[in-house]
Amino acid sequence: MSIRSLWIKHYWSFGFKSFLYDLLTPHSYRASMARALTLLQGREHGVWLDVGCGSGLLIDEGQSHLRKGTKLLATDVLATALERCSAKAARAGLAPSFLGFQADLSLESPVKENAIDVALAHFSLYTLNAPDRRRLLLNHIRQSLKKDGVFALVNPTDDYDASLIIQDSLVISREKDSLPRQWINRMLYRLTYKLGLKQIERRIQEGHWKGYAPGEMEKEVEAVGFAIDHSELVYAGSARLLIVHPVDGFN
């Protein structure tokens, strides 16, 4: 196995454990989560499912949603991710309404049917290159949703561009951050590009991970019983955000 393959294999686990992942997370990535949450406004009360929660970006960007009575179930295949996410929930005062569990929803789902009001999968499905595994995961999410539930998902496009993501992040930083913070971000984003985004770009280009062509993600979710409510490009045009709902009576 090459050094690059080893790095990709252990990138998330090492990043979560060492805080490196949060440190190098670009503004544009956070903005894509914030946009999804904006489209989910009005659904703060209920049970949310964060599929592939990572280090807890939903908690970082969505505390105003989660503090309005939302119960949050967070799942990831990595124990290090759940540890970080659980710690964030505790610091945010969300521990009483938070439950994290380690699971691969593309294999089986411990979540009860018709139990979830809002499901969110932010950059979770694309590492499942096998269509059958993505289909199973999507089926499990649909079955877990209530009849009036919604599902927000974000995945990379097939023309994912690491350079554009960094450029977009620097623009956001200039709009939001102090001058010292902007300078720090310029330094950190060099590592974000080399260690993270460029490696993801290569994996998508090489076909190891899934990048979606225009209309492809919509067809994939419709095939398992979802109807499209909203579709737009986010993440400097390198990802697509969908809001969907389960079709009544779909088998």
What's the rounded mean pLDDT across residues 206-223?
96
**pLDDT value at residue 99:** 93
- Is the pLDDT reported for residue 131 higher than 80? yes
CB atoms within 10 A of CB 196: 24
Q: Which whole number is the average pLDDT over 80-86?
A: 90
pLDDT of residue 106: 83
Average pLDDT, the chain: 90
Which of 98-112, 186-200, 203-217 is predicted with the least confidence, judged by mean pLDDT? 98-112
Q: What is the mean pLDDT of residues 14-32?
A: 82
- Measure the CA–CA gap between 160 and 50, rounded to whole angstroms: 23
Higher pLDDT, 80 or 171: 171
Between 180 and 251, the higher pLDDT residue? 180
The pLDDT value given to residue 7: 52
Burial (CB count <10 Å: 0-12, 13-18, 19+), residue 34: middle
pLDDT category of residue 65 using cuts at 50, 70 and 90: confident
pLDDT at 125 over 60: yes
Q: Is residue 15 over pLDDT 60?
A: no
The Cα–Cα gap between 115 and 134 comes to 21
Of 41-45, 73-77, 137-141, the one with minimum mean pLDDT is: 41-45
pLDDT-derived band at 237, boundaries 50, 70, 90: very high
Q: How far apart are CA 135 and CA 221, in angstroms?
A: 8
Residue 35 CB-density burial (10 A; 0-12 exposed, 13-18 middle, 19+ buried): middle
Neighbouring C-beta atoms of residue 221, cutoff 10 Å = 21
- Whole-model pTM: value is 0.92
Q: Give yes or no for residue 179 having a pLDDT over 60.
A: yes
Q: Which domains does the chain have, with CATH numbers?
A: 3-246 (3.40.50.150)
Share of the chain above pLDDT 70, in %: 92
Query: 67 to each of 55, 59, 61, 89, 142, how far by Cα in Å?
Result: 19, 10, 12, 11, 25
The pLDDT value recorded for residue 21 is 79
Quick one: pLDDT at residue 10?
58
Q: Minimum mean pLDDT among 4-13, 21-30, 111-120: which range? A: 4-13
